[in-house]
Each structure stands twice: as structure tokens, then as C-alpha cells.
A and B are shown apart, each in its own frame.
Chain A
């Protein structure tokens, strides 16, 4: 049964690693933001073979489980003599996996910019680089910010998977507490509630952002 005293005794331990969860999420999210944009642009390149390769890679990564991708990075890379820390692998795996989702988001944002904007940029003789950075991307990214925010939350909720490759975040700590005491209820419940406590208000915030942007 639920034991309050035990629950209170494990709470500090779980809270002491919450920053690992949060930092991992943020680093992976930034990686996904950058890589996702590159993938979205890669699919639009005029070099058709490159565009197809990017499309296939995106599709492959998106439709296979993150868990195995993490295993692959963690267990298979060392066979080739490549060694990274578990945390680095976790950030890479999570970031790469979700970059494929974000590339779709970017794509929808870019496609929503009207043709006239491209034409005006040409008429004003903007270079390709300036057209992207000054005209197209600022317009493409604004309406998709709530969706990007949603993916930040989704990625946050995926971090427990990193416990499978020995990243000591909240889930791994809960598992250790459970294994040592045979009391799983308190630790797992608290971890679940902590995730809910962080993700639900964030989700509400994103919904408000969405409402504000759609008003404009």
C-alpha cells in the first residue's frame, strides 16, 4: 500500500535529478530545431537525389521506434569504436528522432508562405540566403511556434526512455529506488505526477499561445 513516509523520503532523491530530465529535453529540442530545419530545406533542394535521400532518411527515422534508435547509438556505435557518454547519446537520439517530426512542421510553415512573397523577394533582388533568412523563415516560423512548443512537451515526456541506456534521470532513479526497496508504488507514482505537474501547465500555455497567434 501507499506509504506517505516512504514517499516523502524518496521525493528529494527524485527531485535531485529533475534537472537532468529538463536539461536533456532542452538540448535535444535545440538539436531537433536545427536538424529539423536542415531536413526540411534538404527536401526542397534542387539536387533530386539528395532530396530523395533526405526524404527516405526522415521517413525511416520517424517510423521506427526511438527505443531501438537509442539502443543502436548506445550499443552499436562502440562496435565501430565510437564512444559517447550515455547522456550525449540520449540527447542525440531524442534530438535526431524528433528532428524528423519538426521537419514536417517546418515544411508546413514554409509551404504556407504565399508565392507572392517569393516573387517580391526576387523583384527586390534578394539573394537566396537573404530570401530565406529575412523573408521566408520569419513568416514560416511564427505560425508554427505553438506546434514546436507542443513537440518540446512531447520530447520532455519521452525522456524516461533514456533510463534504458543508463541515463540517470527521474525514471532511472525511480527504478533504482524500487529495486532496492521493492516499493515501486511511491517512486513511480511520484515520477508520474512530476511529469504531469510540468507538462500539463506547459500544454495549457501552448494552447494559449496558439489562440493568441490564430487571432492575429
Chain B
């Protein structure tokens, strides 16, 4: 690769990567919030809540991110609700990956041995205390690896927002190549490497977090 040209591409791509990082950060927070809400919703003692969250989860897992994104961006305005591209992108990403995340939350909580809850009951803890002090700390440790994978998927998923005019890394890369078609392999190669680096950083971060959370446990 021509290094001069490579350096010339790097600046615009870095600004795109910044946008990607921002969108990723916002949508990651939203994803985790939704994952917990829906995860608990599916275990609710109220049937309507259980059913509603189940419908949400199956619906978003049964269709695909791109369709959801396009629906929110192109179709929803015609029904009278206009979202900015950023809002549409964040909502689609968070609701899509949140649906997958809710299954992680649910299965991890259900994987905490029953004896733990029984011990907490025996100590006369309130249901809230049981969840907060006993079940969740153990469940979160189990969730982390799966959430790490989900966040990698989310990071990759953010590339789709380029299709609804957001100037992320993918968008910048595709824009750049229109000025210099012959450098397409270099530009797109660089884009891929930048995603790879971001994913690697994310993976390392999650591993570190796992170590912190499980520190001192057998």
C-alpha cells in the first residue's frame, strides 16, 4: 500500500471512526438497559408483561436489523413520526440487540442455582434484596462473556447506519472511494482493519471486566 495515500485516507476515516465509536457507545448503553428491562419482563409474574416482552423479543429477533432500520427511517415518517437519522439508528440498534441481550439476561439469571435463592429466603431477605445482593452478582459474572460477543455484533451492526446517511466509518470509507476508485481495496482494507482494532479493544475491555467481576471467586 502507498503509505502517503494511506495517510491521506486516515484522517477522514478517523473522523468516521469517531462517529462510529459515539454511535456504538450510545447504542451499547441503550442495548444493555433494554436487555435488562426485557430480560426481567420475560420473568415477570404479570402475564401481560411477559407476553408483551416475548412478542417484542421474538419480533425483533425474527426480522433483521436492516429492515427495522429502514422501516424506522423511511416508513415511520409516513405514519407521522419523523426521527432524525441518529435517533432512528440508535433505536433500531438498541431494540434489535436488546432483544438478543434480554435472552442473555434471562438465561443467566435462571442459571443461578436455586439453592442460592433459597438460602437468601432462609436469611429472610426481601425479594429485591435477594435479586440485588445474591442473584444478580452471580448472574452478571455469567453474562459478561455473552455480552462481550453481543457488543462485538453491535459494533459491526453500527456499520448499517451508513445506509441512513450517518457519516460513520463505513460511510466515510465509501465516500472516500468515490474520489479515488482505484484505491478502493486500500480504503476498504483500512476500514476493515479499523473495525478490527475497535473490536479487539472491546474484547480486551470485556475480558478485563470479567477479571474484575470474578476476582477472588473460585
Q: Which residues in B have their C-beta under 8 angstroms from that of A161?
A: 66, 160
CB atoms of A64 and B74 under 8 A apart: no
Known: A67-B159, A185-B75. A75 touches B62 (CB 8 A): no
CB atoms of B192 and A79 under 8 A apart: no
Question: How far, in Å, is A140 (CB) from chain B's closest CB?
Answer: 22
Inter-chain CA distance A111–B216, complex, in Å, is 29
Inter-chain CA distance A183–B78, complex, in Å, is 8
CB atoms of A75 and B156 under 8 A apart: no
CB atoms of B170 and A79 under 8 A apart: no
Known: A63-B199, A65-B170, A72-B192. A184 touches B75 (CB 8 A): yes
Number of interface residues of A (CB under 8 A): 39
B56 part of interface (Cβ distance < 8 Å): no
CB atoms of B185 and A65 under 8 A apart: no
Q: Which residues in A have their C-beta under 8 angstroms from that of B78?
A: 1, 183-185
CB atoms of B191 and A68 under 8 A apart: yes
Known: A75-B177, A185-B79, A189-B75. A65 touches B63 (CB 8 A): no
CB atoms of B75 and A65 under 8 A apart: no
B:63-122 near A, CB below 8 Å: 63-64, 66-68, 70-71, 74-75, 78-79
Inter-chain CA distance A65–B203, complex, in Å, is 15
Inter-chain CA distance A196–B60, complex, in Å, is 9
Known: A75-B184, A185-B75, A192-B67. A60 touches B196 (CB 8 A): yes
Interchain Cβ contacts under 8 Å between A and B, 5 examples: A60-B192, A63-B199, A65-B195, A71-B173, A188-B74
Task: Please give the residue numbers on chain A whose beta carbons come within 8 Å of chain B beta carbons, in ascending order.
Answer: 1-2, 60, 63-69, 71-72, 75-76, 79-80, 157-161, 163-164, 171, 174-175, 178, 183-185, 188-189, 191-192, 195-196, 199-200, 203
